[in-house]
Chain A
């Protein structure tokens, strides 16, 4: 009896220890990563670094064009992805019958889009936006003169919008589902149409979810590199993009080229660390904002 109990307790104890250990390893990885990046990048984190162009063959200077390009990328991307994703989510939750073939197909497509490797989005963007749409536009509107049929910030942003679309759809869908059926019924019972109900009751109640979806998409889009490799990201540009048909620099790609393509990788190491720190801070603060926003609006709704 005693021995059995001891064995049982020991097994339980070992397993508990194992779970704790793996949980601690996760924390350790995060801490090491952050510490290394912060130590390596903290000296670079100056206003000058953030606000100036690269100089001396990109071995010195700042990363302003990459920050600017990243911002433009996620803004254009959001303008495309958020309305499109929100409308899709509204269709799925409000209009489509739960088990209809079309709803199932859309859900399947969204799930599949979410797991497609990002490099494939890049290839798709190249084939579809640049070669098909862009070249088509050039042929139709510009008599074959090359303007849109090459990588630029528009095609890169739209490619990124496709990648982040599932994030937006899922977040908005979840937000729409949190609106209780009773509220929809209350509105309908007052003689509101379905559209009035969606516009005046469902969407205002889902605002936090839509914002959260947007921010999560932006944070994802800011960090991804593969989709924009072929569709618009540039190695180095002496000027900021001035129109949608210009190429642009971007943080994630900048890190990659600094680490692999630079003439002197060791010399650019501080720039790599600095850029990584900036990118990390950007995505962290975006996610943090998403959390705060969600919390605030939730609190307001309850109060």
Chain B
């Protein structure tokens, strides 16, 4: 694997005294889609949320080990969480647009970064919506409430909103799990397009989805990283029996 974007080393995460991630070491390459799969409660979402320090919001979480982004430990005391999160965007399982207009949803991130110039904002909004493949549907109703969009549109809006702050990495936590098949395939197409410019880490319960869109797949089970390899290899000839059992649907 060439350029490593995220590198974790002997990473442990605890909720209080309960260990949720056990010795995770993984290299996530730049401009690729990396899928995290595994049964519910296996720690894949927890791992994902460690990468933009979203777990900081939970008081009881304690993290040991290293998570390096471009070689810099993101849990270092000197790291500014706010600028880390601008660099590492996140799309959530449930689409969560603000109760504002479509335009204001996209402009939210740029605005908090101090961009107030109208034409600059207009450009960012259009570009982000285009890149998230929702411009055509949204362009005539930019100033309508984002909550009037369908579920699939809302999720693409949330992706556009993330793109608007110009991140390097996009974390996606089951972004299509609440969507119908057509919306899901739109999101999947979008993810494949986005990897040209972004590094994508996606948690998914949908094994076919992981197989379709990801370059690498990591299989988590009970807080451990069981196997991590090229997606093709994981799906055709996994090294571990547990991986094979999970992928073939024998448990999980």
Contacts and interface: CB of A to CB of B under 8 A. Distances in A.
Interface in B84-123: 85-86, 89-90, 92, 94, 96-99, 108-109, 112-113
Interface stretch (B1-9, B158-166, B191-199, B213-221): B158-166
B68 interface: no
Interface residues of A, number: 22
Given A196-B112, A302-B147, A303-B147, A189 B89 contact: yes
B54 A185 contact: yes
Given A180-B96, A182-B94, A187 B147 contact: no
Contacts of A193: 82, 112
Contact of B145 (A182, A205, A303): A303
B54 A190 contact: no
B52 interface: yes
Interface in A282-303: 301-303
B54 A189 contact: yes
Contacts of B52: 189
Given A97-B59, A303-B147, A190 B96 contact: no
B92 A191 contact: no
B161 A185 contact: no
B182 interface: no
A191 B112 contact: yes
B57 A201 contact: no
A183 interface: yes
Contact of B109 (A185, A190, A204, A301): A190
A123 B87 CA distance: 57
A13 B113 CA distance: 67
B98 A191 contact: no
Contacts of B99: 204-205, 301
Contact of A191 (B82, B94, B96, B145): B82
A207 to B, nearest CB: 11
Nearest to B110: A190
A201 to B, nearest CB: 6
Number of chain B interface residues as a range: 20 to 34
Interface in B124-152: 145, 147-148
Contact of A185 (B57, B59, B145): B57
B124 to A, nearest CB: 13
A182 B99 CA distance: 12
B147 A191 contact: no
B177 interface: no
A34 interface: no
A302 B147 CA distance: 7
A12 to B, nearest CB: 44
A11 interface: no
A272 to B, nearest CB: 48
B206 interface: no
A188 interface: yes
A191 B108 contact: no
Interface in A175-197: 180, 182-183, 185-193, 196
A186 B57 CA distance: 13
Interface string B41-76: 000000000001010010100000000000000000
Contact of B82 (A183, A192, A204, A301): A192
Given A182-B92, A189-B54, A303-B147, A201 B98 contact: yes
B185 interface: no
B162 A190 contact: yes
Given A186-B96, A205-B99, A301-B99, A191 B86 contact: yes
Interface in A187-218: 187-193, 196, 200-201, 204-205
B170 to A, nearest CB: 10
Given A200-B112, A301-B99, A191 B59 contact: no
A185 B92 contact: yes
Contacts of A185: 54, 57, 90, 92, 96
Contacts of A183: 96, 98
Interface of A: 97-98, 180, 182-183, 185-193, 196, 200-201, 204-205, 301-303
Q: Which 8 A-B pairs have the closest CB atoms?
A: A191-B86, A182-B96, A189-B90, A190-B109, A186-B96, A191-B85, A192-B112, A301-B99
Interface of B: 52, 54, 57, 59, 82-83, 85-86, 89-90, 92, 94, 96-99, 108-109, 112-113, 145, 147-148, 158, 161-162, 165
Given A182-B96, A189-B90, A191-B165, 10 more contacts: A183-B96, A189-B52, A190-B89, A190-B165, A191-B113, A196-B112, A200-B108, A301-B99, A301-B147, A302-B147
8 contacts: A182-B94, A190-B85, A190-B165, A191-B85, A191-B165, A200-B108, A303-B145, A303-B147
